Structure 1
Amino acid sequence: MVLCVSDIEALLKLKESFKDAKELDSWNPDTLPCNETNPWTGVICYKDIVYGLRLGDMGLSGSIDIIALQDIGSLRSISFMNNSFTGPIPEFNHLGALKALYLSDNAFSGGIKVDYFLKMESLKKLWMSDNKFIGPIPISLA
């Protein structure tokens, strides 16, 4: 799978869902995310394929557009660590091919449904500490 226009559109749509996205100024529709000399900040590529997002420590807040992330079929790792996201955990469980998800040090809150992780069969790493979750650890994580 080679980087395609839909990956670029999906990343730009994701950026629009954030508040305070100054750190992502390199995300410009006139450039390529996987450009060797000037890649987009936080976009991890391998042979022009977007496989990861490292968007930690960027002061991001707002929402996380999961539908935009679904349009990036090669995505395997996501980090939103140490930002300012609040509210219930977004529906990352719609991204069944994820192998790693890092959400620590935000302000996500509320409970997590017992079956939340059922369709995330590829998930190997999950960091969710230092949020405001309540309730038991979902059995679907085991």
Structure 2
Amino acid sequence: MKRILAFALSMAACAAFAQMTPLGLWRNVDDKTGEAKAEIRIVDQGGKLSGRIEKTLTKNGKPTCEECKDERKDQPIVGLEIIRNAQKSEGQAVWEHGKILDPENGKEYTLRLAPIDGGQKLQVRGYIGPFFRTQTWVRVQ
């Protein structure tokens, strides 16, 4: 009985730890209006994270990234890669040094991702110099 209990506890701990990662499907929420805007899937590509818009949730959004400056210019919003090259910081549950694109204005920001609330939420922070903006994304179950 003790072995079964120990095994169950260790599996629960592993499941909780596995959720303390940005990998998965997230719903971003507008930090000004509180409205859900899109669902973004974050995946690992050889130790670096990438994220693409999988679904838009607003009806009045632009269908393409008109403001983008690079190869993403005029590409469809659905499928657009908005997170690139985030890497896990040593010894921390934080991913940094990547870039995040705001498709509404075409600007790219230095990125910091930190799972919070047991991995059910993701703190997404974009920096330009000393200035930053933070959003809290919610994991889609």
**TM-score per shorter chain, which class?**
under 0.3
As a proportion of its length, which structure holds more strand? 2
Q: Which has the higher relative contact order, 1 or 2, with Cα contacts under 8 A spaced 6 or more apart?
A: 2
**TM-score w.r.t. length of structure 1:** 0.24
Structure exhibiting the larger radius of gyration computed from Cα positions: 2
